[in-house]
Amino acid sequence: MTTSAPVVVPLPPAGVDPAWLPSEAFRALGSRRILVCGTGALVDTVHGEVAWACGAFGGSVVRAEEPGDDRPYDLLLHLDEHLDAPEPLGDEGFTLVRRRGRTAVAAAGQRGLLYGLFHVVRLGEAAFGGARAREAHRPALASRMLDHWDNVAVHPVMGQVERGYAGGSLFWRDGRARGDLERVRTYGRLLAACGINAIAVNNVNVHATEAHLLTDRIGEVAEIAGALRPYGIRTHLSVTFAAPLVLGGPATADPLDEAVRAWWAEVTGRVYAAIPDFGGYVVKADSEGQPGPFAYGRSHADGANLLADALAPYGGTVHWRAFVYDHRQDWRDRSTDRACAAYDHFVPLDGRFRDNAVLQVKHGPMDFQVREPVSPVIGALPRTRLAVEVQATQEYTGQQRHVCALAPMWSQVLRWCPEGETGTSVGGLARGGLVAVSNAGDDPYWTGHPLAQANLYTVGRLGWQPDADPFALLDEWIDLTFTPARTEAPERLVAGLRAVLYRSWSTYEKYTAPLGVGFMVQPGHHYGPSVDGYEYSPWGTYHFADRDGVGVDRTSATGTGYAGQYARPWAAVYESPDTCPDELLLFFHHVPYGQVLHSGRTVIQHIYDTHFEGVAEVEEARQVWASLVDLVEPARHARVAERYEEQLRGAREWRDHINSYFFRKSGVPDAHGRRIH
């Protein structure tokens, strides 16, 4: 039997548990006798976590190379290279069983043992009571990744973090690496606890300073990777397609040029010399002004394969974003439809991407709106590895000043079946994994709004299990985050948190853009209402409201043809306003204000009613949160209460802008006689 010094586990600031994994969440684990068996860096992390917990709560831990039944223990955490199960568990899977008063977690790989430990923490006392038949756990998606839109140098418009609503970057400040690696390591710990296993540490819009992270500043990336590595997280880097030109390489970035291919191979070799477990590259090309293969008459497959070939000898992956569209559209031209662009660009390339190239597709065809149909691209490239991209940072869903728990929306996306109810779901088709734009920053509560942490937690858990009940995942976050208070008045606290989280997405949708039409936001910063803000712009984000009706005709018969990009039965469902779901009606159809929805209300009355309802629901949620003041740590409660004041102000602003706009357009009064300006 041997013991080893524990890994130092980062703790929350004194007196504050700012996120999930507060110290109290480890009480059930830390009060037991625990045996940790196995060797390796991540086993060291597991042992460090357990040793800290036992030191805090009176338990004991022994480290050994092999388990033994003669040793007294309540929990065994051990590696088993010969672990058998009905199906292979891989490096990240684990089993859990409880018999004869002992709980055992076994894993074939070190990552699996780490995830098994955090599963025990989630279970709490339930992990140590009664008997449990052998359970096998493995992630459905091999890659669960966060993209940080963090700039190294402060951007004159977007700042340190593009679409960042939680303070500054965790990694960069004023052109340099922050050097606060303990904070980064704590972040890695939080992410491992919810199943995230990969991070891209810089913005997909790669500017001149950020380009140098690939070469002369790779050491800074290596330090970040070193801080994340103890929690099984692989580091990725966003790179510019024009890197050879920007960084003094060949005088071209043509992906078929042999000098360019040699340059990328050499540079990538140096990256792996600095970061042996480097994950790969993320690329935004030929999109919103970013350079790409179109400049050389080449395809996106040519561009992606260039980088995939450079990464292949090291096991790396290139994530090539499918967010490609005409952002200089003529608003007068109704035949051009931004929604069609990704399908038109990428479906003809199916089967032409390398095996280690992942096409990263936004979950909807537009841009992370509160309501969009699922992108038809996801079901249309069976020979291409696809990753589904969602946005945890709340660019169009309240910017972490409004409560909007997005797990229910993401769940709907991941459960949707492109070929009908009996087909394979989006979660099953996402062979390249789930990617989320991170909502974390250097704010003390990590996400600006403390309740926005739920989005960061649940996106990782949905990557592990895309068909999980999203409300059960919200409950997990509540249990882990508010554990100390739950010991005092658990039923009232949980009921209150469920009340403010469970329907928050629906509430936000009610008081913003109606029936799937999208946008209607202030240009540039995208916060607050502006119904015509983008209506006459080149961005392709239109609603086409006039005196007679509203919505975009995307039918095959009379419109842009977008509805025809879907397979049956969805193409037929979306083609007709009689079968199109109410919540997407204005996305697919231009209809009269008097059009009767399946709900029985007219379009115009739906607009009025939902906007009044949304404000009322925010007022109710604010009161519920106020009632929890005795159960929530004071600083956290005050932060959320302050955000609720802004949410209520914003919801009223949205209500009055939208209702007044459509009253003035349609001339139809509210059936209930409420005040519309």
Name the active-site residue from 74, 309, 395, 476: 395
Coil/strand/helix, residue 37: strand
Q: Is 288 a catalytic residue?
A: yes
| φ and ψ at residue 210, rounded to 5 degrees | -65, -30
| Cis amide prior to 569 (ω within 30 degrees) | yes
Name the active-site residue from 174, 288, 469, 642: 288
The structure tokens listed for 374 are 């699922």
Tell me which residue of 552, 522, 577, 567 sits closest to 339, measured CA to CA.
552
Burial annotation 128-152 (CB, 10 A radius, 16+ → b, else e): beeebeeebbbbbbbbbbbbbbbbb
Name the active-site residue from 367, 442, 479, 553: 367
Tell me which residue of 49, 32, 37, 45 sits closest to 102, measured CA to CA.
32
Task: Write out the DSSP string of 394-416.
Answer: -TTTTTTTS----HHHHHHHHH-
Coil/strand/helix, residue 386: strand
Report d(CA 507, CA 520) in Å as an integer.
17
Residues 43/82, Cβ–Cβ less than 8 Å: no
Residues 284/205, Cβ–Cβ less than 8 Å: yes
Report d(CA 82, CA 79) in Å as an integer.
9
Q: Is 532 a catalytic residue?
A: no
Residues 552/520, Cβ–Cβ less than 8 Å: no
Q: Residue 7 has what DSSP assignment?
A: P
Residues 75/47, Cβ–Cβ less than 8 Å: no
Please report which helix (H) or strand (E) contains residue 235, including its range. Answer: strand 234-238
Q: Is 367 a catalytic residue?
A: yes
Question: Hunting for tokens 């038949």 — which residue is that?
Answer: 133
The structure tokens listed for 390 are 């969602």
Contact residues for 255 (Cβ-Cβ < 8 A; gap 6+): 261, 293, 296, 298, 302, 303, 305, 306
Active-site residue numbers?
288, 367, 395
